[in-house]
Structure 1
């Protein structure tokens, strides 16, 4: 069997027309190629979905690509059902029977309950279809399942039992409404099948078909979906995640493994259909979960944080250089529509599909003609018609004649120069003006902004609204971006309680976690709240195990030194991946770095002031690198000091500061326990490693919080 170049996954719905805003329980299309999930498309109605799918298949056939299109509703009913309805065991006879009878309007209103009533009348007793929104309507359909015997046909297919799918293809109402999905889906499949000459598995041989339809069930990859949803947060749409992961997993299957899945359907499937991937759940989950994207960078090694031999105290610049040299992107990639690209990191250069502007055009309202004009008066006859933006002139302007043109209009053939309308007098048949006028005046050349094929946005760029305008103007509908970096934040220590809880003697409220989670969100990453762990090594190990499965990076605060209760350091040492960097800075100094099951861990000091400073100076640029955005150094400014300070050599210092009247003020106390200074400040004053004696008016280096994107 030849490989499938393209996977299309379709999440179907029997619901009414949806809103413009993407949401759950709707129709989603997921596309993957070469193991990369390229796009997820939201469809507001079944009609829109059918049109999009048909157009997509046309494009794929024209490009010569082989397509496996999988749909998340049953392709058949239990054995004997088709014969009872159509007189034939052929499942396609039932597809055609439904296509001839099911009516579905653009607004979502349909006659599925009437069609189900007609089918129920072909059976003795109640059912087999049941469930309806109004108990007194459609008397041939029971409101509940109770009392239906399922003697003439089974309630569930062999495929449903093998895949452990609890739903029945006869349930029309009350979630899950699989029965309604089938009635509203099979007529569409019948039309698509005939229109595109698609082979349907397992009813037909598919080895040589360019377009293959198969049934799928998202429940097969539920563990991968749960993990992705937990990492993405509550705003992510489950249906979209399912289609992304399903298309991705199938696209990553080697050809021989997919061939084995297609060969695994039993004899009953020739009439009832079969769920692709049944029995291969572990393999599909592994492929769906592996990076959740297509561009998978190599993992970091356990010794990536190791210091050179003999190094004890590490200067700040050396520590930053080590991080910069040893870390790299760790997130995979996906293609997303422009509407979802804001704030995401480009995984590859974005290349213009067409020039901007695509054609020579006029920059002003006026009159166009060929060639410049010298000194003196000029009179030119006007041709009939005009050129406007989006409404080009159909014809050629003769030499010596002029035509009315409006701003943004493509220049008609025979026109290369435009004169402003306010510089012209006209009687409707001619124009008169005074020269001189240069050839090409008031026009824009094709591609003078961007040429087709030109790289317009570099890999690693964080997408801005202006970037979206440029991408759209040059014909791009989607961008390949890295998946957002998922950063977990964990607080450790028996002394910590949550804000609002009752605090006992010696306990303090956890200030670090809310601060760091908010900072992660501001930096454009996905914050993952890992809660707080007690000073218990086994409990902390369990926290780290769960965090490594959900996140790309872990930030912890507390327990990073070498004391009896510093379990974070101890656990990282147990894993053989612990490095304690004693950095020559104030506040901060101890920074525990390590790997836990392949996930980088930044063990921050427990003091909130030191935790924030270490995050801004070290973790922030490191996380930007791992997110694919490159190493980002904060912009600093030299300003006069409004303070006095004597500093000893040997450590770099960061003072909480703000600028007033053009001068840098520092907080009244350097005590690292004074959290109020973080809120009072608007940035940091950085004092170098050497000795210094600063007096008012001396220049100092001020780094505003805004330079850290906070």
Structure 2
């Protein structure tokens, strides 16, 4: 039985009034009772939504039903922000402050940028709010985030970090506009909570409240949303699906589980608020689904690859930073025996079940007794029996006596020091030796290696044979690991034929797919061969549809530019989820990034050299994040150049290279079609973005293939 009779889920929008017909990116409300989603309501404006919610809460109060109203925007700001604005840490003081200032018209026009400007003036330097539709207006608000230090207050709340929400409540413009949602939402919450005497979690005790407000983030149930969208077709409105499934999941939570979620908040939540369900993604997804089952979290939202407005050429470091900030794990988890865990990514921290060693023990073969011994000769009587590994001594060794002990044996009661048998003479009933000997010599303390309950392996670690030894030694028989990342590889182009097939005039053998499939396997992911698609838009669409259903990420080669036959870019653009990153890179430049039915797509260049370089530099670390293993930088080495090169500024360059006699030599040609250079090379020489004139002996940065795990 749930703690609440009714769940209301609210998808809030900061945008202007929406059309009469139901549309996306609007305000959608979902209502669920008894574990069943009953209705979804479309509101054209914030005023309409506030009026509907208020009327709904009145009806629920009259019917004596207890309501959980969950809103999808932050209820608070990072620690210290409220005090800077209002002089108090009380989040409701900030709610009241905003409610007094925010003006919101029925047509969607409002003064949120003026209010944000007023708050920015209370901070030294620029920010914390940033982003605006007009670069010249509101001079107190930076157009972009660059240059904001976030020293007075953090950029993100602890709740955002814990839930892996990429958004910040200080971003007012450019997707995602969470900062604007907060400014337009908190005044509404302030009026609703006073009007209906609602308790706000986690700021207040909610035990006796009939109406409870809580913060939620739809990203926690993205796997269920992705599955529902795939099943319902492209005409379905994503926001409506989110509210239906979110209200359903919260309504289905048993009382004990929901109570546990409501109780599990850190101290910062009293000021910053908290996202309900954080850390319980899998459970919420299982309850949200109409057909619960094995869920895999989705990778990204449709706009996660979007570049800030005005960005054209993207430096390599900026592109990497964008991927690192916007991606996260997309695979589900399972618990497997140790024998099946090698090479898998740990999904959660592993803690020792018992200490290692579990008891104090001897590090050598010898004789044990209590206390150290001073310099000079010593004779001690032996007690009968001995202690061996797995066969402990049954009694207590009297003070002044000794007992025979073997390596690894638990120290008998009355023993804390061991002397090596090589340093002892014995007649079978006594031992004689010379001091000095420190107390505790030749022994190991209990937990000297690992204490019970101590974290032994962090989440995100790729399990090694040594890790299995540690897990076993500390009593773990099973580990919770990520499901392997499934990476699909698709080649596109009429000119491609399979190796061994007859090649007609103008046709070439497909080199990219076998190369990329093998690389995926070397990286520890599951390669999925998607074959090749002709230059036909509908055929390619069918390939992508099938790929999205069976993979976590898709790599394509060819068709990533904007030409007449570049159908990959066209389809991603048609789906409303495509970005063409023109990266200041050689070889490579165009990198099409997008989403297809919730699955991320990396559209690689068609030339094999460029395809491999883009995969190693961009897709490899991105896939590591999606697999749950974190962002992995390749290990680079500075070595003397064995070549000459003059380089123009503006692009980063990667040269096929190998090291001979301590120097990096590069392939004779830089052409992207020279596949033999990939085989000849053993790594890449990276040349920075600026101009360079390299002479033999100058230091250069060498990245061996092995540092990419290939």
Question: CA 1:569/1:508 → structure 2, altered by over 3 Å: closer, same or farther?
Answer: same
Q: Once the 2 structures are TM-superposed, how far is the Cα of residue 369 of structure 1 from its aligned partner?
A: 0.5
Question: CA 1:526/1:288 → structure 2, altered by over 3 Å: closer, same or farther?
Answer: farther
SS of residue matched to 1:453 = coil
What whole-Å deviation, never above 9, does each CA across 1:285-339 have from its counterpart, x for those lacking one?
Answer: 996986835xx54651101101111111111011101111111111111111111
**Matched-pair contact (CA < 8 Å) for 1:559–1:567:** yes
Number of the residue aligned with 2:322: 322
Number of the residue aligned with 1:704: 704
Give 1:205-244 correspondences, 5 Å limit. Answer: none
**Matched-pair contact (CA < 8 Å) for 1:291–1:331:** no
Number of the residue aligned with 2:472: 472
What whole-Å deviation, never above 9, does each CA across 1:64-84 have from its counterpart, x for those lacking one?
Answer: xxxxxxxxxxxxxxxxxxxxx
Q: Once the 2 structures are TM-superposed, how far is the Cα of residue 254 of structure 1 from its aligned partner?
A: 5.2
The question of 1:292 aligning with 2:290 is answered no
SS of residue matched to 2:620 = helix
**Matched-pair contact (CA < 8 Å) for 1:303–1:577:** yes
Separation in structure 1 between the aligned mates of residue 325 and residue 667 of structure 2, nearest angstrom = 34
What whole-Å deviation, never above 9, does each CA across 1:625-660 have from its counterpart, x for those lacking one?
Answer: 111111111010100000000000010000000001
The question of 1:549 aligning with 2:556 is answered no
Give 1:477-556 correspondences, 5 Å limit. Answer: 477-556=477-556
The question of 1:627 aligning with 2:630 is answered no
Number of the residue aligned with 2:604: 604
Q: Once the 2 structures are TM-superposed, how far is the Cα of residue 356 of structure 1 from its aligned partner?
A: 0.4
TM-score (norm 1): 0.60
SS of residue matched to 2:658 = strand
**Matched-pair contact (CA < 8 Å) for 1:291–1:332:** no
SS of residue matched to 2:609 = helix
Q: Once the 2 structures are TM-superposed, how far is the Cα of residue 413 of structure 1 from its aligned partner?
A: 0.2
Separation in structure 2 between the aligned mates of residue 493 and residue 486 of structure 1, nearest angstrom = 23
Separation in structure 2 between the aligned mates of residue 535 and residue 323 of structure 1, nearest angstrom = 29
Number of the residue aligned with 1:559: 559
Separation in structure 2 between the aligned mates of residue 693 and residue 596 of structure 1, nearest angstrom = 43
Separation in structure 2 between the aligned mates of residue 417 and residue 429 of structure 1, nearest angstrom = 19
TM-score (norm 2): 0.60
Number of the residue aligned with 1:652: 652
SS of residue matched to 1:653 = strand
Separation in structure 1 between the aligned mates of residue 702 and residue 466 of structure 2, nearest angstrom = 29
Separation in structure 1 between the aligned mates of residue 647 and residue 660 of structure 2, nearest angstrom = 23
Give 1:96-495 correspondences, 5 Å limit. Answer: 292-293=294-295, 297=297, 300-495=300-495
**Matched-pair contact (CA < 8 Å) for 2:357–2:446:** yes
Q: What residue ranges of structure 1 are gaps of 5+ in the alignment?
A: 4-223, 228-250, 257-282
Number of the residue aligned with 1:146: none
Number of the residue aligned with 2:614: 614
**Matched-pair contact (CA < 8 Å) for 1:586–1:653:** yes
Number of the residue aligned with 2:665: 665
Separation in structure 1 between the aligned mates of residue 425 and residue 358 of structure 2, nearest angstrom = 31
Separation in structure 1 between the aligned mates of residue 460 and residue 357 of structure 2, nearest angstrom = 26
SS of residue matched to 2:393 = coil
Separation in structure 2 between the aligned mates of residue 497 and residue 383 of structure 1, nearest angstrom = 83
Question: CA 1:289/1:655 → structure 2, altered by over 3 Å: closer, same or farther?
Answer: farther
Separation in structure 1 between the aligned mates of residue 468 and residue 251 of structure 2, nearest angstrom = 33
Question: CA 1:334/1:287 → structure 2, altered by over 3 Å: closer, same or farther?
Answer: farther
What whole-Å deviation, never above 9, does each CA across 1:374-422 have from its counterpart, x for those lacking one?
Answer: 1111111111110000000111001111111000000000000000011
Question: CA 1:371/1:301 → structure 2, altered by over 3 Å: closer, same or farther?
Answer: same
Separation in structure 2 between the aligned mates of residue 307 and residue 548 of structure 1, nearest angstrom = 24
Question: CA 1:457/1:421 → structure 2, altered by over 3 Å: closer, same or farther?
Answer: same
**Matched-pair contact (CA < 8 Å) for 1:252–1:287:** no
Separation in structure 2 between the aligned mates of residue 508 and residue 292 of structure 1, nearest angstrom = 41
SS of residue matched to 1:322 = helix
SS of residue matched to 2:377 = strand
**Matched-pair contact (CA < 8 Å) for 1:348–1:480:** yes
Give 1:576-595 correspondences, 5 Å limit. Answer: 576-595=576-595
Separation in structure 2 between the aligned mates of residue 340 and residue 252 of structure 1, nearest angstrom = 34
SS of residue matched to 1:307 = coil
Question: CA 1:302/1:343 → structure 2, altered by over 3 Å: closer, same or farther?
Answer: same
Separation in structure 1 between the aligned mates of residue 461 and residue 639 of structure 2, nearest angstrom = 30
Number of the residue aligned with 1:34: none
Bigger Rg, structure 1 or 2: 1
Question: CA 1:306/1:450 → structure 2, altered by over 3 Å: closer, same or farther?
Answer: same
Separation in structure 2 between the aligned mates of residue 316 and residue 493 of structure 1, nearest angstrom = 27
Separation in structure 2 between the aligned mates of residue 640 and residue 339 of structure 1, nearest angstrom = 44
Separation in structure 2 between the aligned mates of residue 252 and residue 545 of structure 1, nearest angstrom = 31
Number of the residue aligned with 1:695: 695
Question: CA 1:467/1:252 → structure 2, altered by over 3 Å: closer, same or farther?
Answer: farther
Q: What residue ranges of structure 2 are gaps of 5+ in the alignment?
A: 4-223, 228-248, 255-284
Question: CA 1:426/1:463 → structure 2, altered by over 3 Å: closer, same or farther?
Answer: same
Question: CA 1:397/1:628 → structure 2, altered by over 3 Å: closer, same or farther?
Answer: same
Equivalent residues, number: 437
Question: CA 1:701/1:288 → structure 2, altered by over 3 Å: closer, same or farther?
Answer: farther
Moved over 3 A (4+): 251-256, 283-291, 296-299
Question: CA 1:369/1:632 → structure 2, altered by over 3 Å: closer, same or farther?
Answer: same
